[in-house]
Structure 1
Amino acid sequence: MVKHNYSKHRSWSRLYCQLAFLAPLSLSTLPNLAGAHPLFAMEKVDSKGVWQQQISGKVVDATGRGLGGVTVREKGGKRSTSTDMNGQYTLAITTSNPILIFSSVGYIHQEVVASAASVVRLVAQEDMLDEVVVVGYGSQKKTNLTSAVSQIDAKVLQNRPSPTVVNMLQGAAPGLVISRNSGRPGAQGLNMEVRRATSANGVVAPLVVIDGVISSEGTFMALNPNDIENISVLKDGGATAIYGAQSAGGVILVTTKKGQKGQSRISLMSNMAWQMPANIPKRLSLIDEMNYVNTARANAGLAPEYNEEDLNYAVNGPTFVLGSNGQWRTYNQENLIDQVVKKSFTMNNTNLQFSGGSENVTYMASLGNMSQAGMFKVGEDHFTRWNARANISAKVNEYIKLDIGSAYINQATDNPQDGGYGLDGGGNGILRQFFSSRMRFPLFNEDGTYYRSGTSSAFGYALLKDGGFNRDRSSTYFNNATDHTQAGERFGSEIDV
């Protein structure tokens, strides 16, 4: 017991000596809180035997004003605190001379060694304000803009498994709404809206400007995403002031890539994606469907449609059974949807790009291919797009610079014939037929001909496989030229074939 008391007394004596030693240091340092050294106010051991040290300091901005609400935490530790309205902070640390992390919204995070953390100067993230945005027929820094503009750079668009650049813009810019009414390759029915702009005539589509030339939405959707340098979305009245009434629905400004002076570069990019149909309801098995039909008839006070022999055939029997009346009875076991719809299908993107140039002439040329398969196992169902582009910039003399761009787009779409019923699940659409027909009716007879009795899905299958297909081919030529002089001019053309 005596030994225990002596040990305890010695511990307090040691702490007393430490405090006595630190007291003069603390008093002499207090006037220099904003100086070059931090203030170590106290060193102690907590109730759990963990060594601690109190460290204080101040956080200021570029003008020297104290910043409140800045988070200060020990790197690798769980302890943190926040600065008060004057930028002052005090933090208990558990390691000797640790690294402190200072973070605040709108400022660049900093890591500072504790011994140099008495005054920490945070720097505002002004790089976002210095970003150059294309507006109208020129460009300026975002910090100088008063209208609502969103900027999307090439990093958002590169190497993403999407069939069009419009698909890639979903969620990329606030206020830009992308919707579609179909998943058919090459015929998605894509629609773009900026802030849901409407008029008495309905939705107002945004104005699309590619390299300074007003273009159609179709041309924008068909661009090679790897050819795009950046996209600016103008979303308010400031756009109307630049482009007039035609931009009432907002403006989408597209700038394509240009060459860079220096050594020639060749890049090849290729990716493959697997797509899967979503939200396809599962069908009941044949025996479950028969039991549900019998239950429904019993609830309606009717006799069952299927007897015990039918139920036995549904589990163990063949597909075709010759009845006593000389008519074939069918007990198809194969899933109708699986005979028509793929589990997955592919999409491929390949892009070859050349760029380079000298002090006076730069160039960029590219060739891209995108191919997408459809979801149907039978019939023609696929989409292919080829893109070619060449951009050349030439410095003629000290006063004149020319930008010349030329592009070619070829698209080929093959979709199954739907007989006027449509491919979706509405009305008598082809897919609806496969969901509404009885499972027991097969697609084919034993001799391979189409099964034509009852509510068979064979009609829809025959349309997909043998009813022909819709073929759509289109070519677009896009040319533009810009001269950069004190009185610059820009002209261009877009030709659809």
Structure 2
Amino acid sequence: MRKLLLMLAAVLFFTGHLLAQTKTVTGKVTDDSGEAIPGATIQIKGTTTGTVTDGTGNFSIAVSPNAKFLVFSLIGMTSKEIAIGSASTYSVTLSPSSSAIDEVVIVGYGSGRRAGTVVGSVTQVSGVRVQDRPTANAFDALQGKVAGLQIFTSSGEPSQTSSLRIRGVGSLGASSTPLIILDGSPIDPNTVLTLNPEDFETVSVLKDASATSIYGARAANGVIQITTKKGKIGQDATVSLKTQYGVSNLMSTDYFENFMSSKELTDFWVATGQRTRGSADTLLKNFPNDTKWYNEYYKTDVPTYQGDLSVSGGGGKTSYYVSGGYFHQDGLAYRSAYDRYTMRSNVHTVANNWLKMGVNLSGGYDKRQLNPYGTNNTNRGLALLAPPFYSPRDANGVEYPDLIPGWGRYSPKYLADKIRATNNNVQLNLSGYVEVTPIQNLSIRSQAGLEFSEYRTTGTQMPSYVVSPNNGNASEFFSRAATRTITNTAEYKFSVNDLHRITAMIGQEYIDYVYSDFSGSSTGQTDDRLILISNGPAGRAVTSTQTEYAYLSYFGRLEYGYNDKYFVDLSLRSDESSRFGRNNRTATFWSVGAMWKASREDFLRDVSWLKDLTVRASYGTSGNSAIGNYLSLALVGTNTYENATGWGVSTAGNPNLSWESQKMTTVGLSFRLFDKVDIETEFYNKKTGNMLVSVPYPYTSGFPNITDNVGSLKNTGIELTVGADLYRTKTAYITPRFNFFYNKNEVTELFQGNKYWITPNTGVSWAIGQPVSFVYPIFAQVNKDTGLPEWYLPDPANITNTQKDPKKVTSAFTPDLQQSTGIRREPPFNGGFGLAAGYKGLYLDVDFSFSKGKYLINNDRYFFENPNQFAGFNQSKVILDYWKQAGDVARFPRYGVQFTQFDSRLIEDASFLRMKNITLGYNFQSPLLRRTKFFKAATLYVTGRNLLTFTKYTGPDPEVDANLTLGVNPNTKQTAVGLNLQF
């Protein structure tokens, strides 16, 4: 018993001695304005012991007698080190980083970096720039805002997605769409349509090898990263309510107004002998109309409205952002609409001084209706062929309920009612992470992401449809897709003497994708109330498909910075993909980049007009794997013969199929003049090799084409971005901006020894030493003596040469007259400019985008400028300029000869300048809001989209991103009024 008491006394004495030696240090961390900073890290220097500030900026930490210093840090702020003295309470102030640009940029994987220290070519756009726009497509709002990023929206369908290209078309066979990353996980480019732009915090465009090579096999076309909003620890809840209402109309009616009136059309028929004067007058007497048919096939002032509600904030060690949104837009064409419902919940917590974790949950449901009457269809796309003397209304102005007399087509309203199709999409994007810091400066992070979608299409032809009475049909299509991503990284950051800053990161990533679908259909439904597939007794059919792929990757990055002046980064990635042949499934990509902050050198420090001068350069490789999933495999398929299943080889396969590779060199320069003007320019040279191309083979081989790694392509270009604080005071500002980029592509190698290749039915050729170009018969003129059309004879030795010898022409048109037109398929000049200005609470924001050197084959003109081929239909007024007698210099040949062929006349300059956005608004001033004791902020604004377009293109819309356009549903213009409130 005595020994036990002695031992207990010894333990108590030793414990008391330790407690006497250990003390608790408390305090508060604030910023330069005295505001508390929650979530700041406090660490005992040289140990892993640490804590974080609470929601009011206060902290408490136990320190031992050996502890000498406390280190206070927070991303975006300058770290501070204080000595632990005899005091027990400390007040610490953290200042913003001394870098001119303090925002944090996520480049590849790992933790964020200040933009001023990023070596790679990265343009970050605030989410504010894509919000409050009357369109569901977030990327449409980015058009013209980022040098090197080409965005076109090719249709006025509300559910239309935009085409995206970074630094030109990188492949002739595989996709050229950039890789899209949402909160660290890859997503399908079409998923962006289902996301709510109001949830976006930033959109970053990664362009050069230094920024993209870490993504390896999928980064050849660049990367676009979307980061969604988060709350802030220690911030009281902020409730944001946004609502907007607007209307849509045709962007321009010039094209539609260029068709002949009833009198002009009948006069033309009389002049060309198609009708006598008497029969024409009788026709006009019986049909005394002059219908503008576009007003019947396109609606006016169709509504767009949206509402968004979000709550963000944080308490203790946890932050949150929760939102819900609704968007609705009717299309101008009948049976065209889009409805979207979205929800998001982002929650992040600092569990303790070594553990962080968070989840981003996003869910959406949308309903889409698409007008199907485009290409070669007189129910919309070619409806302007309708003679204007017919009318969809009777003599009393009452609309015909179904068939339009004379025109012989059904009312677009009737078609929309009797032939229905609705597409529904359920979209889930989930990601979660756990990050631990087992020792000082080491962060180990595991993240899992899931993209899941279910898409359903329901199509019905009602039994009451008069074309096929009591014989309806129904179809259902259902697909499910899931992409799972697991990413593990370890990042170690440290500095030596505050001069050498080093970050090393290694990682592993696994991605798999599974897609399946099935469809069913039936016919013979007899009642509009019984239109399910099961109600159709005949024509029953069912189909199904399934496909999948997987990637396994290992990667690493090393970054070094010296004295905040010299920066170098290296990246390496190894990818293995199931899409490629068993002999070539693995490939390695790498990059090296360097940056020099020259303005921090002693010889430039005293140059008062030069506030920043940065030089950067990078070189590296990346890959492209955007092809089908089983092209490397020799596959068999099934067929039915005499009621039995048969087997046959369906694809040849290619066991040597491998990655399309790309090598890119970038050199850039950025500087700030007079502390007002920011200028950034970059030059790049991008070479694509081992292109994934569907190579044609003789049909006698049993396969028309086989995908192989062949050919090469080069893109070279220059980018320029200029922004200026032209005028800025406490109450007013004027900040113009401009960006521009030039890109030239050149085919440098093809396949099978070919010097050129004309892709069938496209009017486009690939020729070594030339850009991808249009190839068509080149129209010369209408012979003023004979009234016959003439075309240039191509060079028989090489049709990729453009031959326009006036002595070598023919009046006999054949497709064999095709030759290179010398016109590029891709526009070389793209960009945008704008202005932000404000005075007190009033603000104005304007954005224009432009494309120069853009050309389109206007296939509509073949129908609308061909009165011989389409006799009895309406035509464009331009056909009145036709040859009538010897000596006439006319646009079209004499009547009786086909006016328009598929030749170079259909290739039009579709360059355009478009006002993408103009917003005028008022931010209500704080003193006024404080009186309410409820509102934190309020904004009232009016906005417009596509209100002005300047172009020489004669078709309905120059923005179509294709080699050929026919029956396009044109882009729309919107005006809207919105109200944003914060509580």
- Normalising by structure 2, we get a TM-score of 0.33
- Give the corresponding residue for 1:26: none
Cα offset, 1:128, TM superposition = 4.7
User: For each residue in 1:62-114, what CA deviation from the matched residue of structure 2 results, as whole angstroms up to 9, or x when unmatched?
Assistant: xxxxxxxxxxxxxxxxxxxxxxxxxxxxxxxxxxxxxxxxxxxxxxxxxxxxx
SS at match of 1:155: helix
1:436 aligns with 2:409: no
Q: Aligned residue for 1:149? A: 122
Aligned residue in 1 for 2:577: none
Q: 1:474 aligns to what?
A: 425
Cα displacement (A) at 1:336: 3.0
Could you tell me which of 325, 338, 363 is aligned with 1:408?
A: 363
Task: Give the SS at the match of 1:263.
Answer: coil
Give yes or no for contact 1:444–1:450 (8 Å, CA) kept in 2: no
Return the letter of the residue paired with 2:383. Answer: F
Correspondence for 1:490 among 440, 443, 447: 447
Task: Give the structure 2 partner of residue 18 of structure 1.
Answer: none
Partner of 2:182 in structure 1? 210
Q: Deviations over 1:409-432 (max 9, x none)?
A: 11111234x4xxx33xx4234224
Give the 5 Å matches for 1:191-210: 191-210=163-182
1:342 shift after superposition: 1.7
Distance in 2 of aligned mates of 1:301 and 1:431: 26
Counterpart AA for 1:409: G
Aligned pair count? Answer: 346
Tell me by how many angstroms 1:406 deviates. Answer: 0.7
Letter in 1 for 2:168: R
Q: Is the 8 A contact 1:265 1:354 kept in 2?
A: yes
Cα shift at 1:393 = 0.9
- Deviation string, structure 1 residues 92-146 (Cα, Å, up to 9, x no partner): xxxxxxxxxxxxxxxxxxxxxxxxxxxxxxxxx9865333211112321222222
How far the C-alpha of 1:488 sits from its partner, in A, is 1.5
Task: Kindly state the Cα deviation for residue 203 of structure 1 after the two structures are TM-superposed.
Answer: 3.9
The one-letter code sitting in structure 2 at the alignment partner of 1:337 is: Y
Contact 1:240 1:246 in 2 (8 A): no
- What is the CA–CA distance in structure 1 between the aligned matches of 2:347 and 2:405, rounded to whole Å? 65
1:225 corresponds to which of 194, 197, 202: 197
Alignment of 1:340-489 (within 5 A): 340-376=297-333, 379-416=334-371, 418=372, 422-423=373-374, 426-443=375-392, 448=400, 450-451=402-403, 454-456=406-408, 458-459=409-410, 461=412, 464-485=415-436, 486-489=443-446
Give, in whole Å, the separation in 2 of the partners of 1:363 and 1:301.
74
CA contact (8 A) 1:285 1:333 kept: no
What SS class does the counterpart of residue 343 from structure 2 fall into? strand
Task: Work out the CA distance in 2 between the residues paired with 1:347 and 1:462.
Answer: 20
8 Å Cα contact 2:262/2:290 also seen in 1? no
Comparing 405-414 with 288-297, greater Cα deviation is found at 288-297
Pairwise mapping of residues 7-156 of structure 1 onto structure 2 (< 5 A)?
A: 128-137=100-109, 138-156=111-129
TM-score by length of structure 1 reads 0.64
Unaligned runs of 5+ in 2: 1-96, 437-442, 455-983
1:481 and 1:308, CA in 2 relative to 1: closer, same or farther beyond 3 A? closer
Deviation at 1:433, TM superposition (A): 4.2
Q: Aligned partner of 2:345: which letter?
A: A
Indicate conservation of the 8 Å contact 2:262/2:289, yes or no.
no
Q: Structure 2 CA distance, aligned partners of 1:302 and 1:455?
A: 18
Q: Does 1:273 align with 2:246?
A: yes
Equivalents in 1 of 2:278, 2:377: separation in Å? 25
Aligned to 1:72: none
2:208 is matched with: 236
- Could you tell me which residue of structure 2 aligns to residue 330 of structure 1? 287
Q: Distance between the aligned counterparts of 1:403 and 1:197, measured in 2?
A: 37
Cα separation, 2, equivalents of 1:175 and 1:223: 24
Following TM superposition, by how much is the alpha carbon of 1:292 offset from its aligned partner in structure 2, in angstroms?
A: 4.0
CA shift, 1:463, in A, is 5.7
Tell me which residue corresponds to 1:116: none
Contact kept, 8 Å, 2:105 with 2:115, in 1: the verdict is yes
Please state whether the residue corresponding to 1:477 is helix, strand or coil.
strand
- Render the CA deviation track for 1:169-220: whole Å, top value 9, x for unaligned: 112221111123211121x242211112422414421111111111111222
Q: CA deviation at 1:298?
A: 2.1
Find the partner of 1:171 among 118, 123, 144.
144
User: Relative contact order: is structure 1 or structure 2 higher (C-alpha 8 Å, sep ≥ 6)?
Assistant: 2
Q: Using a 3 Å threshold, how does the CA distance of structure 1 residues 307 and 358 change in structure 2: closer, same or farther? A: closer
In the aligned structure 1, how far is the partner of 2:209 from the partner of 2:411? 50
Distance 1:140 1:305, change over 3 A: farther
The answer to whether the 8 A contact 1:270-1:349 is kept is yes
- Judged with a 3 Å threshold, the aligned counterparts in structure 2 of structure 1 residues 250 and 268 are, in CA distance, closer, same or farther, namely same
Aligned residue identity for 2:392: L
* Larger of the two Rg values belongs to structure: 1
Whole-Å separation in 2 of the counterparts to 1:394 and 1:284: 62
SS where residue 198 of structure 1 aligns? coil
Distance 1:439 1:301 in 2: 17
Counterparts in 2 of 1:492 and 1:274: CA distance versus 1, 3 Å:
same
- Please, which moves more after superposition, 153-162 or 363-372? 153-162
Contact 1:158 1:225 in 2 (8 A): yes
Contact 1:277 1:344 in 2 (8 A): no
How much has 1:340 moved relative to structure 2?
A: 3.2
Which residue identity lines up with residue 389 of structure 1 in the other structure?
A: R
1:331 is displaced (CA, Å) by 2.8
Which residue of the partner structure matches residue 321 of structure 1? none
Q: Aligned equivalents of 1:366 and 1:176: distance in 2?
A: 29
Note if contact 2:431-2:448 (Cα within 8 Å) is conserved in structure 1. Answer: yes
Give the structure with the higher percent helix: 1
- Equivalent residue for 1:42? none
Higher strand content, 1 or 2: 2
Q: 2-side partners of 1:362 and 1:146: how far apart?
A: 31
| Counterpart Cα distance in 2 of 1:369 and 1:218 | 18
SS at match of 1:262: coil
Tell me the secondary structure at the aligned position of residue 112 of structure 2: strand
Q: Is the 8 A contact 2:262 2:389 kept in 1?
A: no
Distance 1:242 1:269, change over 3 A: same
